[in-house]
Structure 1
């Protein structure tokens, strides 16, 4: 919720600034001109039906005789081409790429080569893969935003880039829920976990998470998403869509994404980690370290994923044109913030453990840990139980 409080005044401030601009002549250089004498980049003249009121996000009106040219209201155009999506958003994506790519690559290598193949290890390896793939799909989005909202790779690449971005992000959330269930069994039901908590359960949870994420992302690859912005040379990827398809196609798609890909997994995490926290708290001070880390894991997941998905639900909850104003302008940076969770995961799941750090040094520097290294976390029973699982 703290992200919502930070983003909403920013959007309101930008909206107030955009009210004083000439809507027709606003272009990427911010110059002002008069009239509707501008033409599309191909030199043909097309008439556009301009929306009378600012829509709730960035649904555009199709220009007559042009199936790929969209017209935006004044405030939406100013927000779409402003400094938030063209400077702040690529900076956040770049931070996720610079930190998440090496951190998750190294963690995956250690988990695959230096750690016994336990059920928790299988889950954490899949989580590292999801976060790593999320970082790898960010460069096209970064280039798109840095070029002033100009997509250079074509329609097919736009569909694939959008589908993979959302698929890997929601796949991470689903795998986080699977990890929380595994830890719930290990802490709250340790005797039952001896029979339930095995390779079959871990592999099944991972397969289910990947299949659900792929099913949720598939509709994003089946609909046109590149459109030209009228009176400019901007080729937009997913940021502006026809107002008709907003309600008929994208509304159910994104409601399913938010509910099935975020809120239900977060609810499962809340229930699993809630019971885990109660059990750890009842164990006394010897579990204080695991208690703090479990709280951090839960808080980080809620903080990074909740704001963008709340905005997404608000965005599609009311079909009227003036229901939420330019809410999409707040959703775009909140979506970029949610990708930063891929940077946090390696440090709250892997590198927080002294034993895991010893494995990294052992693998990179051929360094052998001393007899006291394994006891620095209070006598942890092994990497698969305390160090990599936090509990």
Structure 2
């Protein structure tokens, strides 16, 4: 009887911990779905097709995928650990979450590399930086994100726990014997491998590439005085900082989840923190584009369409000027950017 009461207290505590991120998911879902949908519509149908526009369209699409799953995640957190959506959704939801994460970080890395090439190798970009190439790279990015997320399609299953509740669980070793020692050891090894894999390829390596690209860009622009304006990099820098703060707690949480009995307090803290910050990253990142280069008071005086187009066109025009300045230094003539 005492053990049962203790288990009930644990589950009650978990539900209270889950209540915070669940509430946050529901509150921010409406804003996120509207903001991301409007941006996708403007970028996809109302703006001239360009390399920068293609990058941002796919980046926001990754955010949109995460946003549309927020209500399901919120419900799951409220009824945790019960899973009420069936095995297909158990696999699908977790796979799509992983795809959106990998796609977002890969696209941020691609955008940073694109900025690096524009500044360091402008002549090469003049011949090879095309909308067709950007579309192909974006499509390959989604395929790669899906491949990296495939383990969820394989390992994610539903099963009945000791209290006869259906839970959505990672079965890292295909045998269903949950108590066998050898099976538990194998599951542990696979879980550790997947954590390291996701951390290295989904966070650390992209962050190193992004940091290298922007430090090199800053150095080149300072030495050559390529432009006096900082506008070309404001949007990307803010998005990268947002990504860093949003996804670091996520990877810390999954690292701690390898030892759930050792750090229960920290695990709960980072669970709430990672849930809220990833939600902010997906829902509120688009609004950052609106405030870059725009006076706050003017935002309420302009239509949504004009505001969206101005925010993105300002960034594209600034990159055009930086690109032209670089080409002028390289070939002693002004060449119009082909974006």
Q: Which secondary structure does the structure 2 equivalent of 1:286 belong to?
A: coil
Deviation at 1:264, TM superposition (A): 1.7
Partners in 2 of 1:228 and 1:117 — Cα distance?
50
Out of 248, 265, 268, the residue aligned to residue 306 of structure 1 is 248
Structure 1 alignment gaps of length 5 or more: 1-20, 31-74
**Structure 2 CA distance, aligned partners of 1:128 and 1:389?**
25
Whether 2:169 is the aligned partner of 1:169: answer no
Residues 34-73 of structure 1 aligned to structure 2 (within 5 Å)? none
- So what's the TM-score if we normalise by structure 2? 0.75
Question: Where do 1:1-391 residues align within 5 Å?
Answer: 22-26=2-6, 30=9, 77=11, 81-85=14-18, 87-231=19-163, 234-238=165-169, 243-244=184-185, 246-281=187-222, 283=225, 286-290=228-232, 292-316=234-258, 324=263, 328-336=267-275, 337-349=277-289, 352-354=292-294, 364=305, 384-386=316-318
Structure number with the higher helix fraction is 2
C-alpha change, 1:222 and 1:291, in structure 2 (3 Å) is: closer
Query: Is the contact between residue 228 and residue 236 of structure 1 (CA under 8 Å) also seen in structure 2?
Result: yes
RMSD, aligned α-carbons:
3.9
Q: CA deviation at 1:128?
A: 1.4
TM norm structure 1: 0.66
Work out the CA distance in 2 between the residues paired with 1:216 and 1:381. 34
C-alpha displacement of 1:195: 2.0
Q: What is the number of residues matched between the two proteins?
A: 308
Question: Judging changes above 3 Å, is the alpha-carbon distance between structure 1 residues 363 and 390 closer, same or farther for their aligned structure 2 residues?
Answer: farther
State the 1:135 CA deviation.
0.6
- 1:258-298 deviation digits (Å, cap 9, x = unpaired): 22122222222111222233345554883244455444233
Residues 67 and 283, structure 2, Cα contact 8 Å, conserved in 1: no
> Using the alignment, how far apart are the partners of 1:106 and 1:387 within structure 2?
23
- Distance in 1, Cα, partners of 2:205 & 2:150: 19
* CA apart distance, 1:325: 5.3
